[in-house]
Chains A and B, each alone.
Chain A
């Protein structure tokens, strides 16, 4: 089955000294067909930069990620679905809008989502998106 991979999993896989590196590695090796919503690549660049990796290293990791996985661009339909999700849940802001975009892509393409993010896992359950079990 096709799987979407979330930012948290990629960061865990890239960093050997992360708490869930082993879990990320186990899961990533099991994925048959993996894809990334474009927003995940943006978040990954931001996180690696914030962790003070050099510009060259961030670039290298992004290149390696792009050599490994296909990227799915966010469409107007995804944006509209994500907006509806935010409005439906009565949240006070669009703070977790990126999560909604990832969910919207997963829903549209009937893909399971590989994430360690506890909030995102809850949102998957609420929105009928299957979670990848490593």
Chain B
């Protein structure tokens, strides 16, 4: 570990402070937060699954799902037509 001083833009600093307070309850963990952000880490890694499956009310095939995903692109590029 190296101790150094960095100059942050005001808005970024406020964002970090807010996040640190929200995540750790104080601003004392700013270094931990910055290290974690630079490494692209996230505390949400799927270990605890919060997603609650629901019923659509009809059977849906994989083909339909794939086609619907593909439609997103078509919709987004309609301007070309």
Contacts and interface: CB of A to CB of B under 8 A. Distances in A.
Given A10-B51, A28-B49, A46-B75, 17 more contacts: A13-B51, A15-B56, A16-B53, A17-B57, A18-B56, A31-B46, A33-B46, A35-B42, A46-B68, A46-B72, A50-B72, A65-B51, A69-B45, A69-B46, A70-B45, A72-B40, A117-B69
Interface residues of A, number: 49
Contacts of A95: 70, 73
Given A8-B66, A17-B56, A67 B44 contact: yes
Interface residues of B, number: 32
Interface of A: 5, 7-8, 10-21, 25, 28-29, 31-35, 42-43, 46-47, 50-51, 53, 57, 61, 64-72, 95-98, 116-119
B38 interface: no
B78 interface: no
